[in-house]
Amino acid sequence: MSNLLKKIKKSPWVLGQRLTKKPRNSQSVVSDLFVWRCNKDWSTYFELLDLASLFGEKGQHQVDIVFFDNNGDKFHQQSIELSGLYRQVLDISKFLATINHQPSDYGTFCVFHKQIPNSLLNFKSFITERGYVSYRYKNSPLSSYVHGNLDAIDDTLMPLSGSSFLNREYYLQYVLEINKNYEFFLINPNSKSKKITFKIIGFNNIIQIKKNLTLEPRQLYSLPVKELSSPSRLVIKSKMIMARPLVFSFENDNFDVFHG
């Protein structure tokens, strides 16, 4: 009986609430929504591999890269020829410099592989790009890397994230330090708008920062945090299954980037 009660109590949090949804089309291609940052201080790069070649598919393959601004609106698309099993480092900043108008200093992009390996089709699976993005800040000779976070969007540009019936709280697994500054980037990879609450809470349970907002589908929000008075933690409340932010941590002109 105790196991049954546990399942009943757990059901409002799990029934029909998958982390990501399956695309409607069995031949869809899936990608993360990667964050780009491009201005006088920031450059963004992407590590691109020919995933079809890794599965033994022969021939020349391509990817389509789709760019969105910080509001989630598509503003550019570009096709790239792949180089077989060789890694390609794409300079996202140079791509954006070639278009007539870059709408913002940051946004998102996704990468859709055009060749689907037969083995994935046979297993009713989806080819998915969740590779590495790297960022370079100011005149640093080194880049910092972060991996894709989740299956966020398919090639019809439909967001794939699941949704919760109840509000959930995501606790960043990282202590915010007083001698560092931070920027938290959060994407809504859901097909519906989501109400979000950010809270920076000291270990004395005093709320130092609270921000309420609504994110539209594919929209990206940036929360800067500076000069904390005490070590703190970040809590994100929403009906997103996993409101996991991208974190930029700064100490003078040095920085790190990671998923908390």
Q: pLDDT, tens digit, for every residue of 94-136? A: 989 888 788 999 999 999 999 999 888 888 899 999 999 999 9
Q: Is 205 inside any structural domain?
A: yes
Which residue in 197, 221, 220 sits closest to 209, CA to CA?
Answer: 197
Cα dist. 124→24, 29, 30, 130, 161 in Å? 12, 12, 13, 19, 19
Q: What pLDDT, on a 0 to 100 scale, did the predictor assign at position 191?
A: 94
Alpha-carbon gap, residue 162 to 169, rounded angstroms: 15
Q: What pLDDT, on a 0 to 100 scale, did the predictor assign at position 35?
A: 98
CA-based radius of gyration for the chain: 20
| Region 46-54 average pLDDT | 94
Q: Is the pLDDT of residue 43 over 90?
A: yes
Q: Is 74 inside any structural domain?
A: yes
Q: Could you report the per-residue pLDDT of 227-255, keeping only the tens digit for each?
A: 899 999 999 999 999 999 999 999 988 89
Q: What pLDDT, on a 0 to 100 scale, did the predictor assign at position 98?
A: 86
Last residue of some domain: 106, 127, 154? 154
Q: What pLDDT, on a 0 to 100 scale, did the predictor assign at position 175?
A: 96
* Same domain? 64 vs 105: yes
Q: Could you report the per-residue pLDDT of 172-220, keeping only the tens digit for each?
A: 999 999 999 999 999 999 999 999 999 999 999 999 999 999 999 999 9
Which residue in 85, 102, 98 sits closest to 36, CA to CA?
Answer: 102
Residue 214, domain extent: 163-259
| Residue 140's pLDDT band (cuts 50, 70, 90) | confident
Reduced to 3 states (helix: H, G, I; strand: E, B; else coil), residue 24 is coil
Q: Is 231 inside any structural domain?
A: yes
* Same domain? 34 vs 144: yes
**CATH code: domain of residue 77:** 2.60.290
Return the higher-pLDDT residue of 7 and 161: 161
* Same domain? 146 vs 197: no
* Same domain? 105 vs 216: no
Q: Could you report the per-residue pLDDT of 80-95, keeping only the tens digit for each?
A: 999 888 899 999 999 8
* pTM of the predicted model as reported, rounded to 2 decimal places: 0.93
Counting the structural domains of the chain, the total is: 2
Spatial contact of 136 and 142, defined as CB atoms under 8 Å apart: yes
Last residue of some domain: 154, 187, 214? 154
Kind and range of the H or E element at 225?
Answer: strand 220-225
